[in-house]
Structure 1
Amino acid sequence: MGTMIVLSTTAVPDYVRGSLTRWLSEPAPGLYVGTVSARVRDKLWEAVSEAVGEGAAVLVHPATTEQGFTIRTAGERRRRIADFDGLQLVRFLPQDTEDPTAPTEPT
């Protein structure tokens, strides 16, 4: 039996958007909702997270947690998901923070 998922994308390639509309409805640009099995959900997320490039994606789906859902993210944005004693909370990075994975220039 399937469960409802919500998937939001920002600046992802057009072919990703086209793939998502085969399985989910797009009520607003970049926002997808639908009822799919866990297997389909995981395959869709795998495809989106591999192709996100410079964009970003967020998936929210039901889970057996205290909150009743799980949040998955792909891509780099200011909002980060932080685990706090089993709760998924959203934290913001300062606007002037540089990407910690970016190479640095030698001084």
Structure 2
Amino acid sequence: MPSMTVLATTAVPNHVRGALTRWMIEPTPGLYVGTLSARVRDELWRVVSASIGAGAAVLVHPESNEQGYALRTAGERRRTPVDFDGLVLVAFRSDEYADASPALGILPSTTG
């Protein structure tokens, strides 16, 4: 069943932006919104995360969990999702702690 999906990008290649606009609208630069099936959403995410380069992307879509949504990230970001007893929160990581992030329980960027 199709569901609302939101994808925010920063500095992604033009061919990725073109692929996203075939399936979603871009109400503001780098923000894509659409109603997608899970299969289309996952395929678009595969393309985005594989082509991210120096950019970054965040995907938010409905999920049957406590929060009601899932969060996926790709690329290097200062805001990092952290699993806190089953809830995904966002930690603002300073540059001096970038190397210590695995020890802090920060989830790695996901591609799938």
Shared fold, TM over 0.5: yes
SS in 2 for 1:64: coil
Task: Give the count of matched residue pairs.
Answer: 100
How big is the alpha-carbon RMSD for the aligned residues of Structure 1 and Structure 2? 1.3
Q: What does residue range 1-107 of structure 1 map to in structure 2 within 5 Å?
A: 1-97=1-97
Report % sequence identity: 64
Moved over 6 A (4+): none
Unaligned runs of 5+ in 1: 101-107
Please name the residue that 1:105 is paired with.
none
Deviation of the 1:98 alpha carbon: 5.2
- Residues 22-49 of structure 1 deviation map (CA, whole Å, 9 limit, x = unaligned): 0000000000000010000000000000
The residue type equivalent to 1:87 in the other structure is L
Measure the CA separation in 2 of the matches of 1:39 and 1:20.
14
* Secondary structure of the structure 1 residue equivalent to 2:95: coil
SS in 1 for 2:71: strand
Pairwise CA distance, 1:92: 1.2
Name the SS for the 2:48 alignment partner: helix
TM-score, normalised to structure 2's length?
0.85
Which protein is richer in helix relative to its size? Answer: 2
